[in-house]
Amino acid sequence: MSAIYWRELKELLRSLRFRVAACIFLLGMAVNGFVMAGVYRELFEMHREIETKGDERIREAASHVESLAINFNEIFGVSGQAEVLTLSAPPPKILPIVAGAELGGLQAVEWNFPDNVEPADLGIGNQELPVRPVLDWEFMVRILLSFVAIILSYDTVVGERERGTLALTLAYPVSRRRVLLAKLAAIMTLLGWLLVAGSLLSIFIYLGKGGGALAATDYARAGLFDLGASLYLAIFVAVSLMVSSRARSSVSSLTTLLIFWIAVTIVIPQGGTAAVQGSVTTVSDVQVEQRVMQQLEGQVNELVGEMDSFIHSNPEEARRENYASERNYARRVNQMIATIKASLDEQQESHRRQARVVQNVLRLTPAGLFQIGSERLLGVGETRERHFLQAVDRWSGIYTRFVEDEDMLDADSPHIFYVQNFMSSRAVDPNAVPRFKFEEIPISQSLKNSLLDWSLLLVELAVALCLSFAWFARAPVSQARS
C-alpha cells in the first residue's frame, strides 16, 4: 500500500496540473491576506479619525471651561485671601454651581488643565476599536480548492485504465480497498500541504501588511478550520474516485465531475438562496415606516408640542398636581416606543426566519454545510452579526436599568422616565456608566454551534467513501472491457 501511495504522490507532484493549481490557489490566498490587511487598515484609519474628533471635542470643552474660569476671575476675583477652586485634569466629577448668592467665599478659579491631555486620561477612550477582521478562508476553500481536488483526482482510476497500468497496480499483493485508500491518501496529502501553505502565506501577508496581532484563539480556529476543510475536500476526492472508477474515459469523468462541482458549489446554493429570498418574504424598512406612521399618525406632533410645554412648565406646580399630565404623557410616549419596537422586532424576526430557511437549503449540499460550519467555527458572517446584535441588546438592557436605578436613588426625582426635566438631575459617576464591550464568541461555543454541520459533512463523506469502494471493486481493469 505504501508503494502505491508514494508512486501516486510522485506522479502528482511531477504533473503540470498540480503546479498550475498550486500557483493559482497560493496566489488566491496571498490576495486574501492583502485584502484582510487592507480591511484592518481601513478600520484603523476610521478609528483614528473618530478619536481625533473626540480629542477635538475635549479640547473645545476644555477651552470653554478655561474661558469661564478667566471670566469668573475678571468679574469676581477681588481678594487675595479668597477661596480658590482649582480645575485640573481629569476634571472633578461634580463641579459646584457658583452663581449669585451661592458664591460664598469662593472668589477665584485656578485653571490647571494640561494641554497634552488625551481621551484615555479621561477614561473615555474606546478600547474595543479598531476591530480586527477575523481570518476567513471559507470562500477560497469552498470554491477554489474543491475545484483543485477534482482536477487532481478526476482520472485517478480511469487514467490508469487508459494507459494500461491499472492491471499492474492491482497486481500488488493488497486489496482493491487498500489501493483506493492509497490513492485517496496521496491526493489528500497534497491538498493538505496546499491548505497549510496557503493558510500560513495568508497569515504572514496579513501580519506583514499591518493587519494587527492575532490571538492564540485565532490560530486555534485556523487549525480547526483546516481540519474541517480537509473533511470537506475529502468528499470531492471520494466522489472523483467513484466517478473515475466507472467512467469510460478521462474526458467523461472530468465532465461529470465538473457538472457535480458546479451544481453543489454554485447552482444549488445560489439558486436555492435566490428562490428562498423570492418566496419567503421579509418586512422592509419602508413597510416598517408605513406601519408606524399609520398607527401613530397625528400623535407625534401632539407629543412634541406637549414636550415643549413640559420643558417650560413650573416644576413646583407640576409637583403639587403629582405630575398627572407628565405621567400621562410618559405613558403615551412609552406606548409609542413599544409600537415602534414591535414593528422592528417583527422585521428582524422575518429576516431571521428567511435566514433559517436559506441555511436549510444550503445544507442540501456539502458546500453549504461547509459554508455554515466554517462561519460558525470562525465566528464570521451571519454568526458574527447575530452575536453582535445580541451583545447590543444585552448592553441596552443593562444601560436602561442603570439609568432607572440611578434615578430611583434620587428622592427628589419625579421618576417620570425619559421625559426631559422630570428625571433626576443628580450627577452620575462617569466610571459607573455601563460601557458596551464586544467579546468574540468563545471557541468552545463556536465548536458547539458548528457541530451539527460538521457531523452531517462527516456522514456525507462516509457515504461517498462507501460508494467509491463499491464502485472501484467492480471497476474494469482494461479499456477493452469497458
Is 423 within a domain? no
Please report where in the chains the cell 479499456 appears, as a residue.
479
Is 365 within a domain? no
Report how far residue 229's alpha carbon sits from residue 221's, in angstroms, rounded to the nearest whole number.
12
Q: What is the mean pLDDT of the chain?
A: 82
pLDDT at 314: 67
Is 28 within a domain? yes
pLDDT at 313: 60
Is 309 within a domain? no
Per residue in 77-105, pLDDT (tens digit) is 544 545 555 555 444 444 444 333 344 45
Q: Which three cell numbers stand for residue 309?
A: 410645554
Domain coverage including residue 224 = 2-32+132-280+450-473
pLDDT at 85: 56
Is 266 within a domain? yes
Which residues touch 189 (CB under 8 Å, ≥6 apart)? 9
Per residue in 16-36, pLDDT (tens digit) is 999 999 999 999 999 999 998
Per residue in 403-428, pLDDT (tens digit) is 889 889 988 888 887 666 678 878 78
Is 154 within a domain? yes
Q: What is the pTM of this model?
A: 0.78
The kind and range of the H/E element at 237 are helix 216-246
Share of the chain above pLDDT 70, in %: 80
* Residue 69, pLDDT above cutoff 70: no
Question: Which band of pLDDT confidence, cut at 50, 70 and 90, is reported for residue 306?
Answer: low
Alpha-carbon dihedral of residues 253, 259, 261, 264, nearest 10 degrees?
Answer: -140
Per residue in 256-290, pLDDT (tens digit) is 999 999 999 999 999 999 999 888 888 888 888 88
Per residue in 153-173, pLDDT (tens digit) is 999 999 989 888 888 888 888
Question: How many structural domains comprise the chain?
Answer: 1
Q: Report the interhelical angle of 146-153 vs 216-246 (nearest 10°).
A: 40
* Residue 431, pLDDT above cutoff 90: no
Are 350 and 283 in contact by the 8 Å Cβ rule? The answer is yes
Is 478 within a domain? no
Is 409 within a domain? no
